[in-house]
Amino acid sequence: MPHPREDALLREIEARRDDLVALTQDLIRFPTINPPGDAYRPCAEYLGERLKKRGFAVEYVRAEGSPGDCEAYPRINVIARWESGRPGPCVHFNSHIDVVSVGEGWTVDPFGGVVKDGKVYGRGACDMKGGLAASVIAVEALIDSGVELPGALEISGTADEESGGYGGVAYLAERGWFSKPRVDHVIIPEPLNVDRVCIGHRGVWWSEITTEGHIAHGSMPFLGDNAVRHMGAVIAELERRIFPTLSAHQTSMPVVPEGARTPTLNINSIHGGEPDVTGSGLPAPVVPDSCRIVLDRRLLIEEDLDEVKAQMRSVLDGLTQTRPNFRYRMRDLFEVRPSMTEPDRPVVRMTCEAIEQVLGKPADICCSPGTYDQKHIDRIGKLRDCIAYGPGILDLAHQPDEYVGIDDMVNSAKVMALSAYALLTGQA
């Protein structure tokens, strides 16, 4: 049976439903699009001012020198800490404030924070300003409940997660913000569904392959060497040698959805030849001497990244032996090794128990198909007690008419508050 104090805490969060919705709307109305990194400072300062009024010590950290940081688009992070004055652990809720570009297909204002049919709509509503708002309400309600709490609570709003987190959590982790003894448990309110606890993610390797040719007049292609045709041979070899092998590998990671339990390879883009003539739209009459593709390879925890790279290079080296004049370059763009914490960690167990208490059903434990900032907390901060848990449906992230359910936000705030309470008071 729930403790009477826990019942009172849950009622207090329910009473803050309207505040939760309003906070989510306010956060959505900051167009924190990345790239380039718009409106980071005002969004971070809005969050910091709110928490400062509630007794938090607030710091703003600019990730100077990180990718994209400049005077026009400073990478501003906000970290707010509440100290109980009694010895104990620290529970940290980390959310990224950046969102992806809007794209086409919206039927509502993407930065209007429209409320309709029990949902809040807007770019970032699901990923992840609804989760950020829920964590703020959870922590405020926990502090205001009057329960004697040991330790500390932290909330952060960080930059650039959508572009790798280097101006946000990575920068902070390198400087000790996500390591013991400062922090003991981290909950990242990413949208993995309100009944799931996410304990990790697959890895990723982005690479660029360029094929080289020789330019010539388009009416005499025999005098040139077509780099696009060479790239066509690369893609054909990927179809023959790489794609069919992926399904043979299955992971023990509880990745969702089911299709992500094998490695995946996506051809993100292809660029070849000269650009069309400006204005007329007519093509340049030349043989393309360069063609480039960008590949997105997702890795399982059982895979070795060096072996994955070697397999790709083997395909390309094979073409140099069999295809006349074939020349290529391969360049690493981005890589993250898979990360997964242990299911018996206190932050996992307490959040699962809170889900069952709030929702009346057992929690699912999962891993994410894509990466998020747990990678930096694990690899750089050396902190294993880290999970993702928050409201929102993962499939809605980055989509037009993105939304977060209000009931889901309320329930997730209750789960976060109960989990933090248990972790702080030693019930873990």
Q: For residue 397, which phi and psi values (nearest 5 degrees)?
A: -60, 135
Strands (E), 9-131: 57-62, 76-83, 90-96, 115-116, 119-121
Distance CA(199)–CA(318), nearest Å, equals 39
Place of tokens 């699009």: 33
* End-to-end CA separation in angstroms for the chain: 17
Place of tokens 């989509």: 399
Distance CA(337)–CA(6), nearest Å, equals 39
Catalytic positions are 98, 161
25: number of Cβ within 10 Å? 19
Angle between helix axes 40-52 and 130-144 (nearest 10 degrees) is: 10
Is 382 within 8 Å of 179 (Cβ atoms)?
Answer: yes
Burial of residue 119 (CB within 10 Å: 0-12, 13-18, 19+) is: buried
